Amino acid sequence: MQPLVRNALILAVAAVAGLAGYLVQRASSPAHPAPAQVAREAGAPILALNLPDSNGQPQALSQWQGKVLVVNFWATWCPPCLREIPEFAAVSRRFADAPVQFVGIGIDQPDNVHRFAEDNKVPYPLLSAPLQTLAVTSALGNTSQALPFTAIFDRHGELDFVKLGTLNEAELEGRIRALLASR
């Protein structure tokens, strides 16, 4: 048998065996949750956070259920985060009368978050959190636990979008408008 034909035959048998194994495993495993349920479960740890705001008052993210929720993880020591916040603030102001809530989670010392909030007049709550809080973003693809990281939830608390790295004003506004338009 020629090497090319033999290699193609081996590859075909391996692909069929792999597919068969996958189908057997899938058929024998419990029912798979619907994508919406997976999205809700993946984002649940973020929605369960209860962190102090820039004035030291505890704030539960669950208080904003029923709104499009934009959660931005950032830090005062993160240059890309600091470039992104003015755009988030501008979009937040445009949606001030809509069922939209922005929340910034500063992975920083509470004093630094408080000072930043006072100096920059950010129009949405800035909460402070220890570095370990970033672990909740790992399940959403942020395995390096880097900043900035943004998660957007629909009005039903389902995770709609995540982004590691900066999110520009146009994309942010477009995603919010799409969620407000969907019922």
- Chain segment 52-110, per-residue pLDDT in tens: 999 999 999 999 999 999 999 999 999 999 999 999 999 999 999 999 999 999 999 99
Q: Please provide the average confidence, as pLDDT, over all residues in the chain.
A: 83
The pLDDT value recorded for residue 38 is 47
- Average pLDDT on 128-135 reads 95
CA angle 51/104/150 to nearest 5° reads 115
Contact 87, 119 (CB under 8 A): no
Cis peptide before 52 (omega within 30 of 0): no
Model confidence at 112: pLDDT above 70: yes
pTM above 0.85, yes or no: no
pLDDT grade for 11, boundaries at 50, 70 and 90: very low
| Alpha-carbon span 47 to 44, nearest angstrom | 5
Model confidence at 16: pLDDT above 70: no
Which contacts qualify for 173-177: CB closer than 8 Å, 24 or more apart? 173/91, 173/94, 176/68, 176/70, 176/91, 176/95, 176/98, 176/100, 176/152
Contact 160, 71 (CB under 8 A): no
Q: Are strands 149-153 and 126-129 parallel, antiparallel or unpaired?
A: unpaired
pLDDT grade for 173, boundaries at 50, 70 and 90: very high
DSSP string, 6-37: HHHHHHHHHHHHHHHHHHHHHHHSPPPPPHHH
Which residue type, as a one-letter code, is found at position 30? P
pLDDT grade for 117, boundaries at 50, 70 and 90: very high
In 95-118, which positions are buried (b, 16+ CB within 10 angstroms) versus exposed (e)? beeeebbbbbbbbbebeebbebbe
The pLDDT value recorded for residue 43 is 87
The pLDDT value recorded for residue 35 is 42
Model confidence at 156: pLDDT above 90: yes
The pLDDT value recorded for residue 9 is 40
Question: Can you tell me which residue has the tokens 């649940």?
Answer: 44
pLDDT grade for 40, boundaries at 50, 70 and 90: low
